[in-house]
A and B are shown apart, each in its own frame.
Chain A
Amino acid sequence: MAPLLEVRNLTVAFDTPDGTVHAVNDVSYSLEEGETLGIVGESGSGKSVHALSMVGLIARPPGRIVRGEVLFNGRDLLALSQRELFDLRGKEIGFVFQDPMTSLNPVLTIERQIAEPLRRHFGMSASQARARVVELLELVGIPDAARRAGQYPHEFSGGMRQRVMIAIGISCNPKLLIADEATTALDVTVQAQILDLVRDLKKKIGTTVIWITHDMGVVAGLADTVQVMYGGRIMERGPVRAVFHDPRNAYTWGLLKSLPHGGRRGVTRLYQIPGNPPDLTRAPVGDPFAPRNPFATERCRIEMPPLGEVEGSVAGHKVAAWYDLRAALAASQVQP
């Protein structure tokens, strides 16, 4: 079966007064229907930009899609007209954004905001949409849905607003739901509730999900596949279990090592990846992580390693590295 989404060599740049920012470089991956893909990376790793650029949500100019193809159900999204993109967004691809406090229009009722994609894409009447809105609010766990629908965003708490955002995202039963840092602005308990909700919704409606975050913990609990991005490139990708237990890229290894481990007694300093994030205004040459990587070889600095299958791991576990992380770790004094 053909994958639901296939990204091929997607390259996005922004022309700024300080030079061209190479935000996304040659990103290729595919996503099966029903799969949950977690994309992790730090700020500026290109994880959000690549998702927004797929459906034309970046400002152009200054943004520019240099090359690439994004096949969604066999259609190249980058070749669609503005009109076709309007029809696609919200209907076939739903979005949930980072900050529930600012992502809802403060002067419109919740009902109008959830009803909007329904009326826009399915031509529903106000009363048809109302019934569906109440149904959606109940689905995302908002009590007293009929009354709450008539309220304004400021009458909702942060967690409740994020539930509303999710209701808007899934309102038209999209084939793909892209959540961009959807739990980042929430406190930890609310975050856990939202993640429970998403897992539950996936069981009920079986949407394919791309979950973009910088939180490895969220990915571990939610995703089937994890994709680590750095400097606009995919560094490592594979089934969650394989990547977390057997990282093969020094950046993934660094991220995992800098997570706090519960249950350990005494105070231990968390690992910190040395150096600074890459300067994306320079033309991408070599492995973007090489300057911060203690295991980098000479080749890393001049040539970008291709994303290839990892030997001795499960199928689908891919890494971009010239070095052998396991051998390098064994040879060094650093404890994995």
Chain B
Amino acid sequence: MKFTIGWLKDHLETKLNDSKIIDRLTNIGLEVESFNSQPSELDQFLIAKIVSSEKHPNADRLKVCEVDIGKNENVKVVCGAPNAKENLITIYAPPGAVIPKNQMKLSVSKIRGVTSYGMLCSEAELKLSNESNGITELSTNKYKSKIGKNYFSNKAAKVVDLSITPNRADCLGVKGIARDLAAAGSGKLRKKNLVRIKFYGSQNLRVKITKEKNQGCSIFGSLLIKDVKNQESPKWLKDKLLAIGQKPISAIVDITNYVMLDLNRPLHAYDADKIDTEIIVRNSKKGESFEALDNKKYVLDENMCVITDKSGILGLGGIIGGTRSATEFKTKNILLESAYFYPKSIRTTSRSLGIDTDAKHRFERGIDPNSIEEGLFVAAELIQKICGGTISKKNIETVERFKQHKISFPITKFQSITGLKASEKVVTKILDSLGFKVKKKKNILDLIVPSWRPDIEQEIDIVEEIARLIGYDKIATELPKKVRIKPTLNKQQRLFHFLQRSVASKGYLETVTWSFTDSKINNLFKEEKKEIEIVNPISSDLNVLRSSIFSNLIFYLKKNLERDFKDISMFEIGPIFTGSKPGEQEIVLGALKCGLASRLNWIEKERKLDVFDAKRDLIQTLCEIGLDQNIIKVDNKTPNYYHPGKSGVIYQDSLNKVPIAFFGEIHPNILQKAELKTDALVIFEIFLDRIKFQKEKLKDIKSKFQYSDFQKSERDFAFVIDKNFKVQELIKIISEVDKDLIKDIRVFDLYEGENIDKDKKSVALNVTIQSSQKSLTDDDLNKLNKLIISNVENKTGAKLRS
């Protein structure tokens, strides 16, 4: 909503200066977006200095000038003026500027083979004087520090631009803003004299609002103005509109606009001679069409509120008029419309047709239904004053009367919500100046809400009115108490934060990517999950919700590889989506690591990353969050984006069938399809929501510290075993031979190849044995040795390697 302070003062008597008014507007909830002059075409003309001037290579009388216009680089201008000399300060017009004298618009052009960017202007061209012999010469002393600045100062009145919240329909007119300021104690609302019009005859064009379901119009007021002479608006009116950036069209159109901006009362003027017989306000039928004032043809759906005559549609009520009945300079007779349309109907229609107009913006938020007559009379009087003519009596058709809204307001409510005490006197004064009718009954105020405030419905709305006009700054600042009744984070949330930092501490950079992704990449990681499409994506390559963290991670990995990074470790923790219903999502941590370990390192041997790099980071992380490495189970059933032979799944224990994590090398197909060029790429992912924790806290489950000082012994074994037999099982079998004595089992060698059958492998293990009761004798150890060997051989078919 734009207006000038001068316009505001048409309605507000105030002693405040501009900046006080601006502050006050913001403080009462009418946010000032800007307070500037409307940009002018003359803003383009800059003070400039000729840095050098040389003869044009192909023309004797022309010069090529290097001109300093205050920017980083000088511009080159071809100029024919004899006085275009080095160091002259003059006025420069850039391409796009319009020369005041001949209204010529400049463009970049070639003059005899030399490109000229803009022009240096004479005083005559700028209408400064008649001097046309040579370019303007500005005094060096006065202007040398102003190179690059505007030559013409912008004298236009400064414009206030307010950002009006959707609840404040009443402030879409200057009068409403003045009323609010007056209520805040910033002045007095001027009372306007009632218009005095001599009416000639009645409005004899029949108007009918059809009674039907979904009728969007409840009141249609109109009058006729006959024998007008439409013309350009007078200067005061043009200036008012121009100042706020509106283009004057003709007196009749300008006046309807002016009344809308001034009183928030949209009007429409028809050329009465173009109306066929009568006006019927009705619902549209599907497929009806008309050409609107924006020169577009609209094909309508059913149930849109249309203003029609016998021949068809004249316009969309409250949204836009039609070209068929538009006023022109030659228009003689006018039908002036002032109506009330329901916000919901306006909104539905304008949304489905995609039309936004000033009238629509206002009706959608709620226009004062009691302003119909005022709007007609104010506009008619102005039209008569400017264009002459005679004004008929008004005709107001009503199908539904406006009902006053009443609220009983307990004064104590204000203090209970704001913590601020306000006297009945202050409250009453504020409400009164906002236009409420106030009646006091004990501690209750009986209020009648002004018709221009459709947003005020209940007690809390009254609290807000009083609070914003007294000022939020009057409300105390009560410092919070440091009391906690509930833990800040629950277990799941703590796990989230812990995992995030646990993985980052292993050298991974955390990233955050969109929750949506490109379906083409997502398909590589989606498996059997449903594709969740976004109906209105921001772009076609962000068209589905991600089914995996890796959809985006791989995409951005590629970008970073293209930036010439070779060894990259990064992860994201966030939601993936399994369905389109709320809650069909789960939190996943996905990490990737690519390239070489110890690249270009003088002390360590360079090698490709492999599945065991991913496994190390994953298992360490799982241990850190509190899982027992001896209880989790590893298997090799992984999703199809993992390398089928070099990847694993983790279950929380051997009974659990729900995977809590995957790790491995990525499937080579994915590298190929995503065109990733890297030495190696390993990934892992953890499904947080699937990890189950004991209910007890650490303090309840921490076991007693037990240790043994008796001598430890170590024994080495090498078993030749089936190639497919999992070492995890082998270790389990050994550890179960004697859970008390066997303290640790380490795999220190794996061998396949010569001297071993093709379908076998040799696994070498080191077993640590220690008793907590005594020093073990050779006998004890030998017994255990034999037991280990026999158990392994019997249960696995392995043979001790000799």
Question: Is the pairing of A and B real?
Answer: no
Q: Which residues of A contact B (CB under 8 A)?
A: none
